[in-house]
């Protein structure tokens, strides 16, 4: 495993007046440059886990945090949230809640300006960040004129301008259509591959996670029930059913075929792999 940049040791968290712990005895290590997906049904603890990483839990909440969260060597309980602002970026599910200036340029520059970065460096970062997310041609437009997918890419760019080592995304595609969803995941892959950024994303989008993620962290009732590569996670039918997670459609298709006696060999989670497996089975002389 590469250098550990995020480490949760026996972490539990309880919101005020809640009936149960939102997180319970979480032990997870995430290496530099890894792309980790956090999955689970609503209420499983995904958002709370994301907020632990950027320090808003417990610093902006009145609940009880037990255990230790360490990000890039910082103990999130011992430092201020502002100490992590330029190190851990956070993108929410609703980009409207993060965009408030009059132009795309001003939006991307805002965070860097608050870090007191020199003006010429801010301009360079604005151009770089918009280039990464594919919005350079919209630099003078108002954020309100952008589509949903473009707004979410702009929210990512505002974080990139602060050059964080870790990017946390909490359901960033929950309000997007398939095209917008694909655009956002392509940007995330670009960041991971070219900038070596550590990515943590809470999502329900199993098709994209099967293609892009290194590992999947599955939560249920605040507990970690699995942490493994996508292929192992999505081919565990009992886990998918227990945690109310829909596996990729190609996994459902090949499972359907096996249940009816069509043994195609592999257990694909990607479209191309499923195509190869099914056409390979069809070409066999001994197929049923």
Biggest CA-to-CA distance, the chain: 70
Rounded distance between C-alpha atoms, residue 158 and residue 79, angstroms: 23
Cα 93 to chain centroid, rounded? 11
17-39 burial, b if ≥16 CB within 10 A, otherwise e?
Answer: eeeebbbbebebebebbbbbbbb
- The residue ranges of every structural domain in the chain are 1-79+205-246, 248-288
Handedness of CA 231, 235, 238, 242 (dihedral sign): positive
The residue behind tokens 């520059």 is 109
Rg (CA), the chain: 20
Q: Which residues pair with 148 in a beta bridge?
A: none
CATH code for the part of the protein at 1-79+205-246: 3.40.50.300
Residues 226, 72, 188, 180: what is their CA dihedral angle, to the nearest 10 degrees?
80
Long-range Cβ contact pairs of 152-155 (< 8 A, separation 24 or more): 152/91, 152/95, 152/176, 152/180, 152/184, 153/183, 153/184, 153/187, 154/95, 154/99, 154/104, 154/107, 154/108, 155/91, 155/92, 155/95, 155/98, 155/99
Q: What is the DSSP letter of 196?
A: -
User: Rounded distance, CA 237 to CA 242, Å?
Assistant: 9
For 220, list phi and psi in degrees, rounded to 5: -145, 120
Tens digits of pLDDT across the chain (288 residues): 579 999 999 999 999 989 999 999 999 999 999 999 999 999 999 999 999 999 989 888 889 999 999 999 999 988 887 788 889 999 888 888 888 899 999 999 998 898 888 999 999 999 999 998 999 999 999 999 999 889 989 999 999 898 899 999 998 888 888 888 888 888 888 888 888 899 999 999 999 999 889 999 999 999 999 999 999 999 898 999 999 999 988 888 777 777 777 777 667 777 777 777 778 777 765 555
30 within 8 A of 36, measured Cβ to Cβ: yes
CA angle 227, 64, 45 (to 5 degrees): 30
146 vs 198: CA distance, rounded Å: 27
């Amino acid at each position: 495993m590469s250098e550990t940049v995020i480490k949760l040791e026996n972490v539990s968290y309880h919101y005020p007046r809640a009936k149960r712990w939102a997180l319970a005895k979480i032990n997870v290590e995430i290496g530099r440059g890894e792309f980790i997906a956090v999955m689970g049904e609503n209420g499983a603890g995904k958002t709370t886990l994301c907020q632990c990483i950027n320090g808003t839990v417990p610093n902006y909440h009145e609940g009880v945090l037990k255990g230790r969260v360490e990000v890039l060597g910082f103990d999130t309980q011992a430092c201020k949230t502002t100490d992590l602002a330029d190190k851990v970026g956070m993108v929410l599910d609703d980009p409207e809640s993060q965009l408030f200036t009059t132009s795309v340029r001003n939006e991307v520059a805002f965070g860097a300006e608050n870090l007191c970065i020199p003006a010429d460096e801010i301009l360079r970062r604005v151009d770089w960040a918009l280039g990464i997310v594919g919005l350079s041609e919209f630099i003078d437009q108002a954020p309100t004129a952008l589509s949903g997918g473009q707004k979410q890419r702009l929210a990512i760019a505002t974080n990139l301008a602060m050059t964080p080592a870790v990017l946390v995304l909490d359901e960033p595609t929950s309000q997007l259509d398939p095209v917008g969803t694909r655009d956002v995941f392509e940007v995330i892959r670009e960041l991971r591959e070219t900038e070596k950024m550590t990515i943590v994303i809470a999502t329900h989008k199993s098709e994209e996670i099967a293609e892009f993620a290194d590992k999947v962290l599955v939560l249920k009732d605040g507990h970690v029930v699995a942490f493994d590569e996508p292929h192992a996670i999505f081919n565990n039918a009992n886990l998918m059913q227990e945690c109310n997670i829909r596996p990729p459609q190609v996994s459902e298709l090949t499972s359907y075929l096996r249940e009816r006696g069509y043994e195609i060999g592999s257990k694909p989670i990607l479209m191309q792999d499923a195509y190869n497996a099914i056409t390979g089975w069809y070409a066999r002389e001994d197929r049923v």
